[in-house]
Structure 1
């Protein structure tokens, strides 16, 4: 899970020499031209053989962009084998075409043809609510299930559209940014963490596409609030970023409200068990307990 360029780094080379001077480290070309292609071919052939025995299956798909803004489409298959739920990533394809419903529909059809999957065996495909992907599924005349995780993400986003929450979240982001771009502040934070007996944790940045990352950011700020306040208050420029008691109160309320949703999302992300049947009982739990007046336990 590290770049192939690691092979050429002096520290890594020295590490292997220290472990065993007799070991001859393969070249970068060996991995790019032989080892990885061979591994890909073997894994792909093994999966293709496995899928020949599958009569019914479900798919999930999503369009996404890399950190360099390159567009991709990922397709995942779900099927039963010996009464066990199996999941496999069929492919992650570069998708430079316009993301129209027609182009996506054609790309999804190509996936089935490439893997020799019979469209009549497709039980359902799970997607988000993007108009283009909805149209693509309609064009292919496939049964579709809305992604509950995506809908939950949208619902939480709408629920947090409050001036007090917006201010507190914005403050969190600014606090994280002030430490992200200053090695000096990170060093000072590490020193204060030791002094206060706090965990030596780095701050976490929110990803706009995942409400769960916002919760993690909030939890980390609350965990390190004493250390953050001590470091920020020393500098005149960052002193306004010290969270007030009102900000802390709002962040604690948001954390308390979102934590059960995070646990539910984690459960819905399972690949070894059926998750669709979780939705209705959990919604009932939300309505009768978590979202009930005076609830939140």
Structure 2
């Protein structure tokens, strides 16, 4: 099997005619390439000598100006932050006011954790400052509420009033008036109670002065001729003030009940004194209160 014909062995050793022609053409091509390279090297040498002998000024590339942005072209930031509509902004502001109304300080809007909470709920909402709440939002809400209450009072047929006057521990006197009436609307009917006045009162608490104050408040709200009854405590000056204006007076039931309880406690005053002394003893001694708890 390893033996081969003599012609096959010769044909393998001899180079084919096509390869011989390619070798001849390749040798001629290589000679031409060498001549071209020699010529190019001579040209490059001559150019290098000329550049060395002459002063060459470096060519500064022209500054490429950034493409001017079109004003109407949308930017990426426009999609990252989108301001809330005015109506939605006002709705959230009113809700923030309701939080403040629940006896929270105005500074709650400047609390860091509260800001984070609002941002997580709605990142597009801009939280108002404490100054904005006190000087802008609250007065605007007050004016809107006053207009709503005035329209209700205009539609009311009969109004009952509760009044009170008191002096604080700092010796500051106040006077308040609250209106109670039935509100009839298209979809519902309900009993409304609106505070009409709660202001400082520096005048003497005489019946005549209180009557003048009452007339001033009633005329301000336009309810002078709609008052059916005025409820106050059983103080003599309050009774005189209501009767002096020609209105019907009812005594406060809770105040009357309190007067009855206070009068009844006078009958057991010796027992009360003993109870108060016992409570005072244990409140001043932590050791005694601990022994009392163990028993």
Distance 1:53 1:35 in 2: 28
C-alpha contact 1:160 1:166 (8 A) present in aligned 2:
no
- 2:175 counterpart residue number: 73
Equivalences for residues 98-109 of structure 1 within 5 A:
98-109=204-215
- Superposed, which structure 2 residues align to 1:175-190 within 5 Å? 178=284
Which sections of structure 1, spanning at least 5 residues, go unmatched?
A: 180-184, 186-230, 246-297
Instruction: Give the direction of change, closer, same or farther, for the CA distance of 1:47–1:172 in structure 2 (3 Å limit).
Output: farther
User: In the aligned structure 2, how far is the partner of 1:174 from the partner of 1:16?
Assistant: 49
Distance 1:164-1:66 versus aligned 2 partners, 3 A rule: same
Q: 1:62 to 1:173 in 2, by over 3 A?
A: farther
Task: Deviation per CA, 1:35-63: give whole Å up to 9, x if none.
Answer: 00011111111000010011211111001
TM normalised by structure 2 equals 0.55
- Pick aligned residue for 1:34 from 130, 133, 136: 136
Secondary structure of 1:20's match? Answer: helix
Greater C-alpha radius of gyration: 2
SS in 2 for 1:142: coil
Q: Deviations over 1:222-246 (max 9, x none)?
A: xxxxxxxxx6445xxxx8xx69x9x
Determine which of 140, 145, 149 is the counterpart of 1:47. 149
Q: 1:20 to 1:147 in 2, by over 3 A?
A: same
2:116 to 5, 17, 23: 17
Residue 168, structure 1, aligned to residue 275, structure 2: yes
Tell me the equivalent position of 1:220.
none
Alpha-carbon deviation of 1:71?
1.6
Distance 1:20 1:58, change over 3 A: same
CA distance in 1, matches of 2:281, 2:202: 34
* Structure 2 unmatched runs, 5+: 1-102
Preserved contact between residue 282 and residue 289 of structure 2 (Cα < 8 Å):
no
Q: In structure 1, what is the Cα distance between the partners aligned to 2:173 and 2:220?
A: 20
- Could you give the per-residue CA deviations for residues 102-154 of structure 1, whole angstroms, max 9, x where no partner exists? 111111111110101133x2111011111211111121121100111001111
4+ residue segments displaced more than 6 Å: none
Distance 1:39 1:232 in 2: 54
Quick one: distance in 1 between partners of 2:152 and 2:277?
Answer: 49
RMSD, matched Cα: 2.8
- Alignment TM-score, normalising by the size of structure 1: 0.54
